[in-house]
Chains A and B, each alone.
Chain A
């Protein structure tokens, strides 16, 4: 069953008639599927992700979530920002509770849920600290915790690991992947924008490869390698080479 359908999306900046960014992009995500969007810098990957989130309206086409049109942000679709986007004036637990703002839960329940998820992301001890004392990796953990605390069905991630060191990035990738593949949890689909081919091959069931501006889908590549994937594996390397070849102009 399709969780998210991206149907014939086009996007042009209103004030620049000639600046066509995205031209007729379509793909979909299935249940428990990790989909990555990859393409050259400035090809509109982040814009596309914001259109899927309902933050930006497309010039044409539509986004469907289980068949229903998404025209604004909805409870079931959450977002992880590239630079974590924590509110510096709120403690980490308050930042996570921002993810529960639209729920009717009582404050003590919100607190409980926020504490649980912070513990799951190994942030216990930092609940009542402000983000400024956290490392980049820890901040991004809080960002992911905020995205997951409301038990969303879909999370959209905009280059979430690009500013982290490799060890931190690896551990956070595993956390997200395990959350998706654990069928006892609510998460049904992840869409990630990235420019890191190896990361994309390591995580994704499907890779949407975009061309340069205006963006078109060059290829939708399925990756059937078993999880957990080993970067030194011959098949892994072969897939990386194939994606690289498709990305080349």
Chain B
């Protein structure tokens, strides 16, 4: 037992290093999200440009940013500082997007009287930021922190140890330890590392996030008469206050705006056009960077199209197969927590802690337990990547209607199948759709880990599916085939955007037209 102490101390030190990176990334994300979120909400032109771009960026698999980030950051800051800065910036890119949308929504739904009051009393820009916009953003930002932290941890393992083409980088941290211990089959130390990791997760949740929650809730505008016609039963109010709300929330704002506008169709067209432009701009910039003015770049890209499409189709089946299992588990669990138990807060805390244990740190166990079955590993990673989004989204979206629903259900003694059919399933529908969009996006983001994983120490392929977009992207990254990586990304992003517009938006339109 005593012989384990040096190793435990070393793991504790490494975890502390990782946590310093995570906390620095979180602090930077808070500052950036406040600046961009408030800017996008208050400055019309800035918002019109930034919101669609962020919307597209957050659908891209985060690992795709690695070569760009490393190249830029290490070029500016050489040596170990540069590598650490690269790792931190990678974590930031995983944490940032939902926080920006949280701030953006908080400012967009700010009671107009408060803004008018600051104008009437001649409050200056800096004071307005300090006294109004930043405090008003904090509750929404606090709601997003747990999610961002969980996403950051998901990518911690892969961001601390990575290869791009010919170059390998790694830093001292628990992410490296977990990956190396797990893939080398050292399960005693892997288990200890996992316990330490989970211990840090729990302590962070119970101390840092609880304190931030408490502080942020002082600025809560719930109860303030933000809209005289909104009741707790109003779905619009519910959606405005839901936790998991990245892109769909922003889309919903678009929907609300377009409903109230006489030129709604025109605006809708502009929004879609904005997405298209943002997608083309990002793809073009990436293409220009990688083509290095190579005249054959376009034909080279085209030659990979067929393999990208077939890989995408295979991954599509996996992602949606796992999502069906997510629904089968998440719906009864959420309904139980929301409608059937009085210990909702305890469950919620438990879920937040569980959700903070990323699938990536469990990957070595999965690989070991499901050896030679890459499909099963991929399915599990997809499942774990998506399930919490659905559960948290449902719980958050029913937060403000629960009391009324409970009383109606009890007074009219609605029970059994009728309660499921007429109350539970329909009450969770908006949250379910919001959660589904984010869960599917998260599954796509995880494809690069789910479908292909190699041991960094031995270089051996530990898990691999037959064919899939994640595997394709991975092999492109490891082999440094940037054309293949780019065409893979373009296909995946196009599919996600088209699916959002054609399926999710229509479904959401239909639901909001009834629930609003």
Residues of A within 8 A of B (CB): 50, 53-55, 72-73, 75, 78-79, 81, 83, 85-90, 94, 98-102, 130, 132, 146, 150
Contact = CB atoms under 8 A, between A and B. Distances in A.
A90 B422 contact: yes
B407 A55 contact: yes
11 contacts: A54-B410, A55-B407, A55-B411, A81-B408, A83-B404, A85-B404, A85-B407, A87-B423, A89-B426, A99-B412, A102-B413
Given A132-B515, A132-B516, A83 B415 contact: no
B231 interface: yes
A209 B411 CA distance: 26
Contacts of A50: 407
Nearest 6 Cβ contacts at the A-B interface: A102-B413, A89-B426, A101-B414, A79-B411, A83-B231, A85-B404
Given A87-B422, A87-B423, A89-B426, A98 B408 contact: yes
Given A83-B404, A98-B408, A101-B418, 6 more contacts: A73-B410, A85-B233, A87-B427, A89-B514, A101-B415, A102-B412
B412 A88 contact: no
A87 B410 contact: no
Contacts of B410: 54-55, 72-73
Interface of B: 231-235, 404-405, 407-408, 410-415, 418, 422-423, 426-427, 429, 513-516
Contacts of A132: 513-516
A87 B405 contact: yes
A24 to B, nearest CB: 25
B233 A98 contact: no
Interface secondary structure of A, over-half rule? loop
B413 A78 contact: no
B233 A101 contact: no
A7 to B, nearest CB: 22
A73 B410 CA distance: 6
A130 B413 CA distance: 22
Contacts of B233: 83, 85-86, 88
Contacts of A150: 412
Contacts of B405: 87
Nearest to A156: B411
B427 A89 contact: yes
Contacts of A88: 233-235, 514-516
Nearest to B418: A101
Contact of A98 (B232, B414, B513): B414
Contacts of B422: 87, 90, 94, 98
Given A87-B423, A88-B233, A98-B414, A81 B407 contact: yes
A75 B413 contact: yes
Contacts of B426: 87, 89-90
B259 to A, nearest CB: 11
A73 B411 CA distance: 5
Contacts of B232: 83
Nearest to B425: A89
A50 B407 CA distance: 9
A189 B194 CA distance: 64
B405 to A, nearest CB: 7
Contacts of A72: 410
Nearest to B405: A87
A87 B233 CA distance: 8
B256 to A, nearest CB: 13
A109 to B, nearest CB: 15
Contact of B411 (A53, A83, A86, A100): A53
